[in-house]
Structure 1
Amino acid sequence: MTQPQPICEAWRGAFLESQHLGHIVVCDGSGQVVQAIGDPEAVIFPRSSCKMIQALPLVTSGAADAQGLSETRLALACASHSGAPLHVTEVNRWLADLGLGDDDLRCGTEPSRDKALRFEMIRDDQKPCQVHNNCSGKHAGFLTLSQYLGAGADYVDPVHPVQLACRDAFEEVTGMTSPGFGIDGCSAPNFATSMHALARSMAFFATAHSRNDPLSRAAARLAAAMRAWPEHVAGKGRACTLLMRAAKEPLVAKTGAEGVFIAILPGRGMGIAVKAADGATRAAECAIAATLVQMGVLDADHPDVTNFMTPTLLNRRGLEVGFVRPPHTLFPT
């Protein structure tokens, strides 16, 4: 079995201080691996990087159209948002349109990741709600589908019709039977798959606009919503949002916990999956940015790319003491 390979380095002064290992897989429209670093068959949890897959049944079932979901809500269904006012307001409105409220969510409470709102809530002695959870948009989508199906309230149960539909969609687009699942931070099942299969699923989304079957139409619709509303997918200062905006061609980028990052390239019909073996976010952000730069999707000198691919390390006095970069061996010329 191929071992994880270096995908990110941290230098302090003239010395390599830390090195992150991981896997990178790029698939073409036929699902074939065209570039790989590490082990394409390594089995991982995609975590939140696969939210667009979990949103597929929302669209294919007819629930999204029955509820008249806007592009912004479809983007939120695929989001790991910051819990900023625009995210919280829209999810609250979505729940109200369903005749539901915060207590109907099953994602759990989380303080807003938006610094201004979090501090405002602390000053006003307001406790965070479930809508502030970065997964509340996905869960609003789950509730929409559950209501449409007339299913029970515990929509995160692995045998609930919503999660069975998510599993079926996941295995369809990855082209692989999942070996099992774990429970994600938001309490929904997260299905394991291989790096190759995850990249293949992103290539499915990247080529979806060229097909006319219901699953492909749904995938194309979700990818288009994410491209159109990048701030709803993540938020101010976040890698997903900034990299999509910095791209020189259509790009969908989505992070996941524990060092996962995916990219969808509709113009090329290609999908990318990145996994930092140690779960480090900075390594995944560095590696996805470097991969997209190497492919010509991003400019290395764009400030929003530099911030993730080659960020400067500062100490507490603001002195420049080092830097992060992809290793020179990542894409040898």
Structure 2
Amino acid sequence: MRQMARTRRGAMTAALLAITAMGSLMTGCTADDGARGRTVDDGRGPAQGPGEDHKETASTGSVLAVKIDNVRAARPQTGLDAADVVYTEQVEGGLSRLMAIYASKFPKAIGPVRSARESDLELLRQFDEPTLAYSGAQHKLLPLIEKAPLDAQPPGEASNGYYRGTDKPAPHNLYLRPEQLVGSAPGSDALTTGFHFGTAPAGGSPETSRTVRYPSARFTFTWSESRQRWLVAMDGTPTVTTEGKTVAPATVVVQYVKVRPSQFHDSLGNNTPYTETVGSGKAEVLRDGRVFDVNWARPNAADGTEFTTSDGTPMNFAPGQVWVVFAKA
């Protein structure tokens, strides 16, 4: 399936541009944010050790990465609780968007699905030809997506895998059926993020709540002693899925990175931020009701990110879902 998709991707890129000019896709996708020239709306090793949230499975392919809408109109999201890793990034206007990574298991549906950004291409280089599910991109970004070592699957290439829901207005109602797009989940071995899982190191400081702010968005993680998880709230509202499941990662990473202007802008002229995930810097790891100050390093785009304590020891994460919040250094 991946090979067939890749061979026809060049033709489909041109087709998507033509469809954009007409204003919509055959699948009913609307133009991303109404912008002219857009298509549709917008070291290595297992990242997820065996734990109570996930089954340990052998790798049979690569991860599924899904770009998920995160404005208020898009909430509650679907299938977010099933992701192995959730990355948060800043987008235009100081708002946020999510990149959810699935390997251990697939939910029945995921979404709302929105458009890709340039930063996503660097972030996803750590995986072996991941499948990227997204609703489209700024037209000047399409050639970069075409050249990236990933299997791009927007609705125009995989219409059977997407559907429009009736719970929200467009463009916040595009959903993905992952098993129709890529078949079965590849297994946790596909999570080549560089993360380590195991017993927490000594030290750290007690932490019951942590808030990370973007210019127009905020994430709060509150420790639940009874659940031994961090309860997520976005913009002050507890995060639950459409099925009523509380989103509660076992580990939260606040990773301080460089966020700079990119070469792209939205329809209002707002610059699209570029989040640099290759390099090194400081981070904070929240697990077990404590916070640990650590260092992060990702020398090359093809590498996963290593988190280490002050003495150079790998920082162990708690088994279960991980949220990585990219915060401006």
TM norm structure 1 = 0.26
> Greater share of strand residues, 1 or 2?
2
- TM-score normalised by structure 2 residue count: 0.26
